[in-house]
């Protein structure tokens, strides 16, 4: 199917040039790159069945909606990138509607696409749609504390309208006889979609796992603060029509002496693994560790989009860069994004590191494979009023 990016890339580049804002950075070779750590010190424990009984009851009670039905009922309009936006290698992108772009309670964080889920087969379509997915956390007030998290499914194909739909992430509670669910108040700093499974970073723990085949239908009535089963037996979800219940947990552990911080994640389809990177500071931070960050690679079990019950990392790196919100890896290459420095770092073990100027207030990265066009890096900005979701050619940032 025809991608919208094919018809918008030229217009975006021309508009930026006219405005005199197009930045074409020259990569700077960094003084030092990552160093190797003992990968055997980092392990995962995975449980994909802990909520089976309750989820079975929820499915029986509420029914499910496949992704194509959710998108048939998409009720928000995405809009084009502003003409003033520019970054080297820009291909295309979008913004959320005015309400989401200016929401000071909710912040976009992670990004993944249906190309992560299925690769290039069938033009990267999942259940008939080519999709960009973004994770959000929501605070109880502007500048308040974490209250819940959600995902946004965005149609990215000329065949369908420029629409998106929000889906609330929930944790099953209650019993099989009286099933229920509650909010998940996590940062959701990174997401990876592989097969039918969605992996969501849980900062101090590891990852929460969701199954896109189990989107539940909920009643949109009630009040905005109501969540879960009510005394009448109806299920509310802050007026959301759809919720996605957690199906499993991937818990991290380490013998290194310092717990791993799951700040951001990304899928590497070539090595069939998820990579995680940490947000840390060189010094002076009170809410984050003041130490060198790490990046760790964890492989999936053979032939399936799930982790074994126990998994040992296959690669571990100590990084020379700080305040990392984004990571990606593909075919032996790595990218790291620093929101503190507004820079994108590229590194391979053989070529070494390179540094590129990039956007500010950026977040996660997702690698987009393409059989007929250049491969892309998708990313986004979280700043209120400046939430650009966009793709750049990865070749513009590969040394």
Average pLDDT, the chain: 93
Q: Which of 181, 169, 248, 168 is nearest to 208 (CA)?
A: 248
Percent of the chain with pLDDT over 90: 91
Rounded Cα gap, residues 280 and 380, in angstroms? 20
CA distance 302 to 314: 14
Q: Phi and psi at residue 282, in whole multiples of 5°?
A: -70, -40
Q: Which residues pair with 174 in a beta bridge?
A: 179
Residue 1 has pLDDT above 60, yes or no: no
Expressed as residue numbers, the domain containing 261 is: 5-397
CB 391 within 8 A of CB 368: yes
Is residue 11's pLDDT more than 70?
A: no
Contact 15/83 with Cβ under 8 angstroms?
yes
CA distance 161 to 331: 34
Give the pLDDT mean for 219-241.
Answer: 97
Question: How far apart, in whole angstroms, are the C-alpha atoms of residue 172 and residue 170?
Answer: 6
Q: How many domains does the chain have?
A: 1
Q: Check whether 264 has a pLDDT greater than 90.
A: yes
Could you tell me the end-to-end alpha-carbon distance of the chain, in angstroms, rounded to an integer? 31
Query: Residue 30: pLDDT above 90?
Result: no
Residue 298 tokens, joined: 């964890």
Q: What pLDDT shows up at residue 137?
A: 98
With cut-offs at 50, 70 and 90, classify the pLDDT of residue 186: very high
Mean pLDDT of 35-39: 98
> Could you give the CA distance from residue 269 to residue 273 in angstroms, rounded to a whole number?
7
pLDDT of residue 399: 84
Residue 4 scores a pLDDT above 60: no
CB within 8 Å of 20: residues ≥ 6 apart:
none
Q: Summarize the confidence of residues 67-78 as an average pLDDT.
A: 98
Sign of CA dihedral 176, 182, 186, 191: positive
What is the band of 103 on the pLDDT scale with cuts at 50, 70, 90? Answer: very high
């Amino acid at each position: 199917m025809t991608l919208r990016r094919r018809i918008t890339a030229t217009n975006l580049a021309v508009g930026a040039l006219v405005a005199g804002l197009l930045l074409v950075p020259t990569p700077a070779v960094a003084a030092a790159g990552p160093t190797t750590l003992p990968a055997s010190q980092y392990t995962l424990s995975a449980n994909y069945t802990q909520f089976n009984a309750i989820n079975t009851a929820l499915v029986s009670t509420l029914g499910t909606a496949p992704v194509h039905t959710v998108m048939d009922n998409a009720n928000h309009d995405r809009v084009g990138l502003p003409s003033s936006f520019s970054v080297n290698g820009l291909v295309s992108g979008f913004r959320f509607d005015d309400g989401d772009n200016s929401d000071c309670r909710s912040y976009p964080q992670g990004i993944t696409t249906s190309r992560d889920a299925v690769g290039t087969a069938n033009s990267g379509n999942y259940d008939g749609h080519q999709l960009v997915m973004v994770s959000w956390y929501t605070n109880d007030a502007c500048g308040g504390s974490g209250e819940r998290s959600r995902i946004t499914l965005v149609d990215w194909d000329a065949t369908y309208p420029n629409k998106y739909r929000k889906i609330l992430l929930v944790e099953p509670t209650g019993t099989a006889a009286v099933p229920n669910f509650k909010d998940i108040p996590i940062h959701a700093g990174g997401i990876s979609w592989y097969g039918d499974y969605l992996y969501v970073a849980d900062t101090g723990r590891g990852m929460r796992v969701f199954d896109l085949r189990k989107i539940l239908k909920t009643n949109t009535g009630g009040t905005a603060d109501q969540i879960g089963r009510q005394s009448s037996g109806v299920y509310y979800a802050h007026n959301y029509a759809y919720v996605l219940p957690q199906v499993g947990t991937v818990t991290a552990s380490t013998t290194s002496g310092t717990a791993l911080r799951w700040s951001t994640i990304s899928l590497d389809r070539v090595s069939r693994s998820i990579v995680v990177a940490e947000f840390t500071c060189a010094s002076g931070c009170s809410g984050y560790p003041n130490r060198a960050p790490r990046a760790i690679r964890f492989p999936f079990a053979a032939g399936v989009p799930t982790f074994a019950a126990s998994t040992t990392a296959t690669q571990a790196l100590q990084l020379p860069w700080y305040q990392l919100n984004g990571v990606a890896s593909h075919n032996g290459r790595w990218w790291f994004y620093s929101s503190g420095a507004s820079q994108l770092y590229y590194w391979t073990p053989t070529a070494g590191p390179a540094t590129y100027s990039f956007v500010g207030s950026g977040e996660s990265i997702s690698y987009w494979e393409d059989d007929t066009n250049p491969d892309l890096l998708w990313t986004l900005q979280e700043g209120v009023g400046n939430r650009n979701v966009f793709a750049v050619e990865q070749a513009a940032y590969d040394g």
